[in-house]
Amino acid sequence: MTAETSSRAMTGTFGATLRRDLLLAARHPGDWINPLVFFLIAISLIPLGVGPESKVLAVLAPGVLWVMALLATLLSLDGLFRSDFEDGALEQCLVSPSLLYFTVLAKVVAHWLVTGLPLTLLSPVLGLMLSLPGGYGTLCLSLLIGTATMSLVGAVGAALTVSLQRGGLLLSLIVMPLYVPILIFGASAVNDAAQGVEVGVPLAILGAFLALALALAPMAASAALRVCVDSD
Amino acid sequence: MHPVRRQRLLLVLFIVVFSSVAIGLMAYALRANINLFYPPSQIVSGEAPVNTRIRAGGCVRPGSVERSKTTLETRFSLTDGVVDFPVVYSGILPDLFAEGEAAVVNGSLNKERVFVATEVLAKHDEEYMPPEVAEAMSQSGGDHDETCGGMAYGS
Amino acid sequence: MASWQWFHRLGSPRWFYEKTGGWLPWLTAVALVLLVLGTVWGLAFSPEDFKQGNSYRIIYIHVPAAFLALAGYYIMAVCGAVGLIWRMKLAFMVMKSAAPIGAGLTFVSLVTGAIWGKPTWGTWWAWDARITSMLILFFLYLGIMALQSAFQNREAADKASAILALVGTVNIPIIYKSVDWWYTLHQPATLKLTSAPTIHASMLYPLLTMVVAFYVFYAVVLLLYTRHEILRRESRTGWVRELIAKEGGL
């Protein structure tokens, strides 16, 4: 086999999985629209709960936007491997000779493209509704990095709970503690930006989390899939 | 090369590259001030931003604590032994707050560069000793306290 | 391969059960003696602190509990890794037993920390880096226990929670370094490996006694939990039936 065809085989695993998942998402718009709608509704509940005073909302805005984005990501994670597990496609991936790492990575990238990216694009509008004083660029950038990291870390949790009947709640329980550092630095970046402070440090740390998650999370998720899919 | 072996190679490359990126970014971040904590010298020199929530700390300068007679407002200075800056706080101070002890304040600098604290926390150090020992050490001029002891308070 | 024999023997729950049965009374006695000694020494005989008075005495529980909450997580994660790599049943049993004990100790250190924080810092709870990290550690323990109990299949439960424990270890260095990174309220560690401790000898010795006492106590509780787990999992095997017949029980 020449190098060219083998490289095509490699991009084949990643590319084919990515294309397939995106196609599936396009056919089931509910899967990716629902987390967005959740984000929208949950954010609009905040002014109704704490009062419409824009001064208070401005203080709360960075944290609220980040917490809600976290919850929306969490809600969408349950479906990451579930349908593939139920129709047997996941088992096919497990027995195929190509590395599970790239299959998992492709599925996570697809998941981020249909949840994290739209969430990020929607966030400035919601920032306006919460009268966020500034730092819209940082809001988008931090959410862009943060939602990608959360998709990767969440994939481990989704893989661990894939074979469980009611895995959704348990998934949130085990993944939320792992999200804490991302939330801290993400929200503090937006907070700083809104007050006009330098944000290089929290963004660099968020980037470090993303790089670490890219290297390790798909491996942990693959191991988890092997354990959970084989056993049941 | 066999496609699976090629994938393995790519996987190793992925992990090496991303791990080094993570380490590099972390190293960059750790060089900078991570929690917006400012010692007195940086506040006096004007490095600290005005009207932003920051955290500052130092030793409460002996003789600087003024309590208002009618309200809960307290004024004091925090020092590092060389320079000091004024702090205003209205609220109940913790028990361990005392002159010559370390304190951490949360709040912001106003335009007159007075630190308006929303929270005052007494930072106790990691040293524990019986009172007699502490007394003996202070008599002999021993430096019992890393942050505040043995400090020359003249400015 | 003689040097590896003990390791393979360790894989046998029966061998472990029979071996540790003899140790247990001794360990329990040592733990009790040390706990009583450390408590009486710490509460009654060690002097007051020159600044904090009597309230500092809570370190005799707070520090050992926090030590073991962290060490317990490592013990659990290492057992999980051993179980995953060498497929050792016993390691998974120890791991499963370590989770609730660790969660309990984390809870104790959080509660004693809050009680200590009120008189010294002036607040029950501060969102300080180390306190927050301990809270996350507590959540991690809870998550591992929840995952463990969610599976019908025992092998899947063991392996899945082992993977989660290993993923969680990323948090532990962050917890440990957090005080240096954020420089917040919590004082740096009093006992250091590299330099002399910053606590007077009359307070240090009772504290060290309590730390050792907690370690032995932890070992006793872990052994009890693990032996219980062994009996539950091996209840259908011949040696457990023989044991029950011999003890004339149940």
By C-alpha distance, which of B104, B134, B129 is closest to B119? B104
* Cα separation of the two ends of chain C: 41
What pLDDT shows up at residue C215? 92
CA-CA distance, B33 to A153, in Å (whole number)?
Answer: 27
Helices (H), C41-153: 59-86, 89-121, 129-150
Counting the structural domains of chain A, the total is: 1
Q: How far is B95 from chain C (nearest CA, A)?
A: 6
Q: Which domain holds residue C38?
A: 22-189+198-247
The answer to whether A108 touches A151, Cβ cutoff 8 Å, is yes
CB pairs under 8 A between B and C: 88
Q: How far is CA C227 from CA A108, B82, C27, C222, in A?
A: 41, 62, 15, 8
Q: How far is A165 from chain C (nearest CA, A)?
A: 9
The answer to whether the Cα torsion of C228, C230, C236, C241 is positive or negative is: negative
> Residues in chain C with pLDDT < 50?
1, 178-180, 182-186, 188, 192-195
What pLDDT shows up at residue A153? 93
What pLDDT shows up at residue A15? 87
What pLDDT shows up at residue C38? 86
CATH topology of domain B37-139: OB fold (Dihydrolipoamide Acetyltransferase, E2P) (2.40.50)
Q: How far is CA C67 from CA A29, C63, C176, in A?
A: 50, 6, 11
Q: Characterize the bridge pairing of strands B84-90 and B73-79.
A: antiparallel
CA-CA distance, A60 to A70, in Å (whole number)?
Answer: 15
Residues of B in contact with A95 (CB under 8 A): none
pTM of the model: 0.77
> Does residue C208 form part of some domain?
yes
What pLDDT shows up at residue B55? 78
Counting the structural domains of chain C, the total is: 1
Chains that touch A (3 or more CB pairs under 8 A): B, C
pLDDT digits (tens, 9 = 90+) for A205-217: 889 999 999 988 9
> Does residue C17 form part of some domain?
no
B 61-120 residues with CB < 8 A to C? 92-97, 101, 104, 120
Of A1, A99, A215, the CB nearest to B19: A215
Which residues lie below 8 Å from residue C57, measured CB to CB, with a gap of 6+? Answer: C42, C43, C46
**Tokens coding B106:** 């949360």
The answer to whether the Cα torsion of C232, C234, C235, C240 is positive or negative is: negative
pLDDT digits (tens, 9 = 90+) for A114-170: 999 999 999 999 998 888 888 899 999 999 999 999 999 999 999 999 888 777 889
Of residues A67 and A91, more confidence is placed in A67
CB pairs under 8 A between A and C: 62
**Cβ–Cβ contact C245 with A under 8 A:** no
CB atoms within 10 A of CB C17: 19
**Average pLDDT over chain C, rounded to an integer:** 81
By C-alpha distance, which of C169, C151, C171, C170 is closest to C160? C151
Q: Which domain holds residue A199?
A: 3-231
- Adjacent-strand bridge partners of B87: B76, B115
Grouping H, G, I as helix, E, B as strand and the rest as coil, residue B145 is coil
Rounded mean pLDDT, A166-183: 87
Domains of chain B: which residue ranges? 1-32, 37-139
> Does residue C9 form part of some domain?
no
Task: Give the pLDDT of chain B (155 residues) as one tens digit per residue.
Answer: 677 788 788 888 888 898 889 888 888 877 765 556 777 888 888 777 777 777 788 888 888 888 888 888 888 888 887 888 899 998 888 777 888 777 878 888 888 888 888 878 776 655 656 565 565 555 544 343 444 554 444 33
**Tokens coding B85:** 């800056």
**Cβ–Cβ contact C159 with A under 8 A:** yes
Rounded mean pLDDT, A172-186: 87
Asked if C163 and A220 come within 8 Å (Cβ–Cβ), the reply is yes
The CA R_g of chain A, rounded to the nearest whole Å, is 19
Of A99, A202, A204, the CB nearest to B7: A99
The DSSP secondary structure of A17-43, one letter per residue, reads: HHHHHHHHHHH-HHHHHHHHHHHHHHH
| Tally: H helices and E strands in chain C | 9, 0
Which of A104, A165, A178 to mutate: most C Cβ within 10 Å? A178
**Cβ–Cβ contact A97 with B under 8 A:** yes
Of C50, C120, C121, the CB nearest to B134: C50
Asked if C163 and A174 come within 8 Å (Cβ–Cβ), the reply is no
By C-alpha distance, which of B74, B142, B148, B64 is closest to B107? B74
By C-alpha distance, which of C91, C70, C73 is closest to C82? C91
Does the pLDDT at position A198 exceed 80? no
**Tokens coding C134:** 């301990």
